[in-house]
Chains A and B, each alone.
Chain A
């Protein structure tokens, strides 16, 4: 699936839907989207990743960047990540910092 990133913000909840492969060639697009979202001071960030097929460390770095900019009070949700993506998060210790859900709102 080709890469796309779309975002919307409703009542301080930012939702970013990521489709395709998040590698070093596509991560800058997500980074840019995250930077726009940060300006809006959301209280929750929801990453819709059901159709995210691949995520390399370039993608992890954007998640870390988002978390660092937004601060620990802003909860980060991952909606329906694929098994291999969860495994990568676990391996790198990022799993502790995100909340995995089947749908949002829960």
Chain B
């Protein structure tokens, strides 16, 4: 079958964010994803990778953590899987700002939850699993 899989690991520090975006952009463009949807995929992944680096590993007390980024593409779908070994963090248990909060003027708005919201809204499907001591965040983009 026409399936491509690419895996790369990155150090869990903020300097890796740009490298992860470059890795994803290079492959997504090659697979024919347009600029707008490539950007959205990068944004979704960036938000979750940021959480893993800033909260997951920090709270675990792990200083040399890694983030594994796997990109798999078939005919219908592009899937990005991110794995880490930090503390379990389920993004779906995080409170997302509701419509009423988003409509508030910026001066009155609580800060927070925006990142996870952007992760969910910018791909066709977003899932989370915890298995064998690993967090697994899965992002799917339909190719047709």
A83 at the interface (CB under 8 A from B): yes
Chain B residues within 8 Å of A71, by CB: 107
B109 at the interface (CB under 8 A from A): yes
State whether A57 touches B40 (Cβ < 8 A). Answer: no
In the docked arrangement, what's the CA distance between A97 and B43, Å?
A: 22
State whether A94 touches B118 (Cβ < 8 A). Answer: no
State whether A54 touches B42 (Cβ < 8 A). Answer: yes
A-B contact count (CB 8 A): 78
Taking CB as reference atom, which chain A residue is nearest B13?
A25
Chain B contact residue count (CB 8 A cutoff): 31
Shortest Cβ distance from A57 into chain B, in angstroms?
Answer: 4
State whether A83 touches B36 (Cβ < 8 A). Answer: yes
State whether A25 touches B15 (Cβ < 8 A). Answer: yes
State whether A68 touches B50 (Cβ < 8 A). Answer: no
State whether A63 touches B106 (Cβ < 8 A). Answer: yes
Chain B residues within 8 Å of A58, by CB: 50, 115
| Interface hub of B97, B111, B114, B117 (most chain A Cβ within 10 A) | B114
B39 at the interface (CB under 8 A from A): yes
Contact status of A57 and B102, CB under 8 A, knowing A24-B14, A84-B40, A88-B43: no
Taking CB as reference atom, which chain B residue is nearest A93?
B102
Shortest Cβ distance from A69 into chain B, in angstroms?
Answer: 9
In the docked arrangement, what's the CA distance between A65 and B107, Å?
A: 8
Shortest Cβ distance from B75 into chain A, in angstroms?
Answer: 26
Contact status of A84 and B17, CB under 8 A, knowing A56-B47, A58-B50, A97-B105: no
Query: Can you list 20 contacts pairing A with B, beta carbon distance less than 8 Å?
Result: A21-B21, A23-B17, A56-B17, A56-B118, A57-B50, A58-B50, A60-B114, A61-B111, A63-B106, A65-B111, A67-B106, A68-B106, A68-B107, A68-B109, A84-B40, A84-B43, A88-B118, A91-B122, A92-B97, A92-B114
Binding site for B on A (CB under 8 A): 21, 23-25, 54, 56-58, 60-61, 63-65, 67-68, 71-72, 83-84, 87-88, 91-94, 96-97
